[in-house]
Amino acid sequence: EMDGAGGNGSSGSVMCQLVSAEGEQLGAALYLPHNVGPPQLQDIVNQLLHNEDKLPYAFYVGDEELSLQLGAFMQRNNATAEVTLRIVYQPQAVFRIRPVNRCSATIAGHTEAVLAVSFSPDGRCLASGSGDTTVRFWDLSTQTPLYTCKGHKNWVLCIAWSPDGKHLVSGSKSGELILWDPKTGNQLGAPLTGHRKWITAVSWEPVHLQSPSRRFVSASKDGDARIWDITTKKCVISLSGHTNAVTCVKWGGDGLIYTGSEDCLIKVWETTQGKLVKTLQGHGHWVNSLALSTEYVLRTGAYDHTGKTFSSPEEMKEAALARYEKMRGNAPERLVSGSDDFTMFLWEPTISKQPKARMTGHQKVVNHVYFSPDGQWLASASFDKSVKLWNGITGKFVAAFRGHVADVYQISWSADSRLLLSGSKDSTLKVWDIRARKLKQDLPGHADEVYAVDWSPDGEKVVSGGKDRVLKLWMN
């Protein structure tokens, strides 16, 4: 009933070509009757791809989503039946995250502004760093404080969980990094010193490259990034080359380290000897934030929505590798950089030094860029009070989310890539629906600026912290 059966009762048929998100054609062109809608197209794609389980897909013609039957869609858009319709299919997450809409707990504990919050990769533990120089662990089941870890001499600026969930490293304004054990709250060893100025970002080596996690890279205002080994508690390699502060660092899935700096350059380093591989030039002002298309998978490691636990590091490594390969597919890793020059660049660093696309449109500094977990979308938060959504593969602008009344500081995606969360200076958080391209939920409640937000990898909870010194947990 799919091919050739031109007028089978209902109006007519359309010539369609199914194309993947990367541009590869799936099968030959098909004659599809007008009463074919997304569910039937899903069946077709599943069959053509020989999927064992029926996976959900979303379909796009041009830039619009195809939600009606083909006939109605053609009529609405006045498309002629003479041109072959290119239907792009995009895999959707199998699970669906419910949007958070209430504040389930306000946990006080910090005595100064909360500067960083992060869920562990399995979503079971929560850690936060604050201006009162402590790192605190919180119990999610009772929503109360668990451990208070003292050791830093100055504000705790960034925290990062290792992708196997066994360690937490925190960096402070005095330039030192401390390793913590999340199970006991104890400090593991002496502080790691070496940086001369404050730490701006920390990133762990992906678990599919090494399990258990051993190395991480830290970026600092003094212009270099250092790779540390937690078993020897030493700085292994120092990546110097930037002439100004390094604002962000990301350890990529193929073993390259990307650093963005205030000297407007992005440098790509290889990790065995710390040699500079490439310099990506193009920005006119500070590079504020970097994002990798595989970032979410690297962060969560082997854990996914099924909540499976792993007994050995090898098992974890295999699972993480499988997830990473699936996420990446055949495409190279994409990198996006957001800058003070109000624009963002989409790079494919392994292929070329030239940017793939330049994304303009923001009217003020772009503070945070983040790829969606499935890599299809890219969101950017800017001080011009808007959050913009871009196509994660081509870099084309899709939608702008307006609603905040002050600078938008940080964003976070839900694990199924259908919802986006933004935290802003105006003390509210907002949840945006990607499919409808609209505001889904407004989450007011904080008394002052919201500095850090995070959505747990299992999608159940959202945590936010800010200048009012309390941590708020939001649930459905």
Partner 1 sequence: SAMDGAWTTRSASARRRRAPSRRTPRMPARLLGAKGKRFAKKRYAEKAQMKKTLKMHDESSSRQKVDDDVEEGAIPSYLLDRDPTQRAKVLSNTIKQKRKEKAGKWDVPLPKVRPVAEEEMFKVLRTGKRKTKQWKRMVTKATFVGPGFTRKPPKYERFIRPTGLRFTKAHVTHPELKCTFNLDIISVKKNPNGPMYTSLGVMTRGTIIEVNVSELGLVTPAGKVVWGKYAQVTNNPENDGCINAVLLV
CA nearest neighbour of 404 among 449, 372, 456 = 449
CB of 365 to partner 1, least distance (A): 8
Residue 206: asked if its preceding bond is cis (omega within 30°), the reply is no
CB of 107 to partner 1, least distance (A): 18
Beta-carbon contacts of 180 under 8 Å, excluding residues fewer than 6 positions away, are 127, 135, 137, 149, 167, 168, 169, 170, 186, 187, 188
> What SS3 state is found at 349?
coil
How many Å apart are CA 367 and CA 364, to the nearest integer? 9
Which residue in the set 47, 154, 312, 354 belongs to the binding site for partner 1 (CB under 8 A)?
154
The contact pattern for partner 1, residues 236-255, with x = CB under 8 A and - = no contact, is ---------x-x--------
Is residue 233 within 8 A of residue 269, CB to CB? The reply is no
Q: With contacts defined by CB under 8 A, name the span among 35-43, 195-203, 344-352, 431-439 that binds partner 1.
A: 195-203
- Under the binding rule (CB under 8 A), the answer on residue 409 touching partner 1 is yes
Is residue 182 within 8 A of residue 137, CB to CB? The reply is yes
Tell me the longest C-alpha to C-alpha distance in the chain: 77
> What SS3 state is found at 98?
coil
Pick the closer one to partner 1 by CB: 198 or 370: 198
Which residue in the set 406, 435, 444, 447 belongs to the binding site for partner 1 (CB under 8 A)?
406
How many Å apart are CA 380 and CA 372, to the nearest integer? 11
- Under the binding rule (CB under 8 A), the answer on residue 175 touching partner 1 is no
The contact pattern for partner 1, residues 108-147, with x = CB under 8 A and - = no contact, is ----xx-xx-------------xxxx--------------
Cα 227 to its chain centre, rounded Å, is 22
- Under the binding rule (CB under 8 A), the answer on residue 224 touching partner 1 is no
- Under the binding rule (CB under 8 A), the answer on residue 452 touching partner 1 is yes
**Total residues binding partner 1 (CB under 8 A):** 32
- Under the binding rule (CB under 8 A), the answer on residue 259 touching partner 1 is no
Pick the closer one to partner 1 by CB: 324 or 409: 409
Q: Tokens 């504040």 — which residue? A: 103
Structure tokens at 155: 């504000």
Which residue in the set 87, 88, 157, 302 belongs to the binding site for partner 1 (CB under 8 A)?
157
Which residue in the set 76, 102, 153, 183 belongs to the binding site for partner 1 (CB under 8 A)?
153
CB of 154 to partner 1, least distance (A): 6
Give me the DSSP letters along 281-345: ---SS-EEEEEETTHHHHHHTT--TT----SSHHHHHHHHHHHHHHHHTTSPP-EEEEETTS-EE
The contact pattern for partner 1, residues 310-329, with x = CB under 8 A and - = no contact, is --------------------
399, HSE (Cβ side, Cα atoms, 13 Å): 16
> What SS3 state is found at 159?
strand
Which residue in the set 73, 89, 155, 377 belongs to the binding site for partner 1 (CB under 8 A)?
155
Pick the closer one to partner 1 by CB: 15 or 108: 108
- Under the binding rule (CB under 8 A), the answer on residue 174 touching partner 1 is yes
Residues that bind partner 1 (CB under 8 A): 112-113, 115-116, 130-133, 153-155, 157-158, 173-174, 198-201, 221, 245, 247, 262, 286, 288-289, 367-368, 406, 409, 451-452
